Structure 1
């Protein structure tokens, strides 16, 4: 779990930092600075709400990648789980089991990506004003 968390945390941190830096360079953030917003107020009221959407989608992509990474980590560290069961099914040429596990993993990844897209839509400040 620490192996997956370390890799995921590094990627997630870079995604959030990139999204915040990109929004901080926009004309919107510059207008807020000219209007007198500084420090925490600028970050919480103007930059962060606009950076959350892309950051959430990036985090969803990272999380879906971690699902596949869990299969590898379970095999490497001989940890009982879906990855080890998939490895055993492949070794035994148990096609129905391999198809079932692959379908299960695909559904989990799709659900994570769907939740990420829905959250990004809900967190989009421009989308909130259109409703």
Structure 2
């Protein structure tokens, strides 16, 4: 039933049409379920909102695609790591994200570093899910 992958959002097409509301080549069922798009809805790659700085926010589907691609690059570089390693890396990235936020807020730090650290952390969450899917965790505290 696969209709390929949508080039805009990376989701699988159904019957050759995308199920994402923002694609011009969307399946007719999308409009039937969600109604016709307004002019505001047609703003590509946004969720219709703006950030506090007045810039448009990237829609969550595109964030997920970007973070998933970064995770795939990490796996190609480092291989599929075990759960424990990824948890430790996530704690480290959480610390770096916290540091970036505090430095940007209190020490005139580079605000773009916040997004870089968030991207690193989010990609690790994808990798963690893949590792859990690949290697089931012991349920009794014992060895695998």
With normalisation by structure 1, the TM-score equals: 0.31
With normalisation by structure 2, the TM-score equals: 0.29
Bigger proportion of residues as helix: 1
Bigger proportion of residues as strand: 2
